[in-house]
Amino acid sequence: MVIRMIFHRHTNNRKGQTLIEVLVALLVFIVGILAVVRMFPGGFTALQQGENVATAGRLAQAELDRLQSMAQNLPAGIFPVSDTFEDDPANPDVAANFRRVEGECTVIPAPADNNESIYMVGFGPVDSSMPIKVYSAPMIRVAYPTDGNTPNAESYKNNEYSIDYASGILWLLPQPYDRSYRATYSYWMQKDSDVKAVAVVGSEFTVPAGTESIHLLGSTPSGFKGIVVGSDRICRSFEQLGQAYPWSSDPYQFKLIDANMGIIHFNPKGYGYKDGGSWSRPFSAYIDYTIL
């Protein structure tokens, strides 16, 4: 009886030690597993970041390749602009940021099968709520007569003009139709004994049919002391027609076919047109527009 009890106790002790060993081993295993598992999120994050960097590099290279392919169409600049929305009473100062593309250049394309000279702007999406401005290359300034006579504007070419800096009068080749221009210049203004230059950027004005001269400021303001010599830059504006309107003989025309994509049709008469005679540069258009 004694022997059996001793054997029974010995057997129970062996079982207890085995269970403890298993529990300890299991605890060590779980701690090790947890340590390894905690390493995975960092590894996944590093892999995701590496993939993001690689994707960004591919996209940047693709954009560089695209810009290189359109080098002759690149704009003069892309500038950030803001528009403040005041419709939300809770956030009256919330501003949406846009970018203004200015001076994107294109030679008037050859007409396609539908007899339209088609061009799509290089950046987008275009903000269709903002106007698209199309204008010519800067016109060539002809020296103003110094003998006191008025210029012979009838002898000018389409891309030529002269200006009397003292009076602010601009002289242009008369045409049988109205045409619009945009001007950038500075003029002198005197107030009391103070004379300062006033800058004007992208001012638009219309010259009526048959007219050969016009004042840059519309009229002579009080205190006007003349245009700053050499500050003038005159461009011919393209007229925007409705899609249903037919083209006229004036090559300075365009139609906006898709305002969001920035698809423009130019008057096909502009293809190969020489605005200054056979020697002149290719007929080109410069485009200003806003992108989201």
> What is the arithmetic mean of pLDDT over 204-220?
91
Task: Specify whether 147 is located in the same domain as 199.
Answer: yes
List the domain range (segments joined by +) for residue 166.
140-236
Evaluate if residue 103 carries a pLDDT over 50: yes
Q: Looking at the predicted structure, is the pLDDT value of residue 251 above 80?
A: yes
Question: Which of 24-28, 58-62, 184-188 holds the top average pLDDT?
Answer: 184-188
Q: Is-above-0.75 flag for pTM? A: no
**If you average pLDDT over residues 228-257, what whole number do you get?**
94
Between 45 and 190, residue with greater pLDDT: 190
pLDDT at res. 1: 45
What is the rounded average pLDDT of the residues 255-274? Answer: 92
User: Can you tell me the distance from the alpha carbon of 291 to that of 100, in angstroms, rounded to the nearest whole number?
Assistant: 6
| pLDDT at residue 20, rounded to an integer | 78
Choice between 159 and 8, residue whose per-residue pLDDT is larger: 159
Q: How many domains does one find in the chain? A: 3
| Cα gap 203→83, rounded to integer Å | 21
Positive/negative CA dihedral, 222, 225, 228, 233: positive
Shared domain for 272 and 194, answered yes or no, is no
- State whether 131 and 98 are in the same domain: yes
Domain co-membership, 147 together with 210: yes
Same domain, 154 and 232: yes
If asked whether residues 207 and 251 sit together in one domain, one would say no
Percentage with pLDDT > 90 across the chain: 47
Residue 87 has pLDDT above 60, yes or no: no
Which of 17, 41, 69 delimits the end of a domain?
Answer: 69
Q: In what order do the strands lie in the sheet with 140-141?
A: 140-141, 160-164, 169-172, 213-215
Q: What percent of the chain has pLDDT over 70?
A: 85
Kind plus residue range of the DSSP H or E element containing 2: helix 2-69
Q: Are 212 and 168 in a shared domain? A: yes
pLDDT tops 60 at residue 16:
no
Q: Give 283 or 113, the one with higher predicted confidence.
A: 283
Distance from C-alpha of 291 to C-alpha of 120, rounded to nearest angstrom: 13
Asked which of 32-41, 138-147, 168-177 is least confident by mean pLDDT, the reply is 32-41
Choice between 217 and 91, residue whose per-residue pLDDT is larger: 217
With the C-alpha atoms ordered 220, 224, 230, 236, is the resulting torsion angle positive or negative?
Answer: negative
Q: Are residues 154 and 209 in the same domain?
A: yes
> How far, CA to CA in Å, does 90 sit from each of 82, 85, 97, 194?
19, 11, 19, 46
* In a shared domain, residues 145 and 122: no
Q: What mean pLDDT is predicted for residues 245-271?
A: 93
Q: Determine the average pLDDT of the residues in 54-79.
A: 82
Those residues with Cβ within 8 angstroms of residue 291's Cβ, 6 or more apart along the chain or in another chain: 98, 99, 101, 123, 124, 125, 126, 127
| pLDDT level of residue 45 (50, 70, 90 thresholds) | confident
Please provide the average confidence, as pLDDT, over all residues in the chain: 84
Residue 80: pLDDT above 60? yes
Question: Quick one: pLDDT at residue 286?
Answer: 96
pLDDT beyond 80 at 201: yes
Residues, the chain, total?
Answer: 292
Mean pLDDT of 113-133: 89
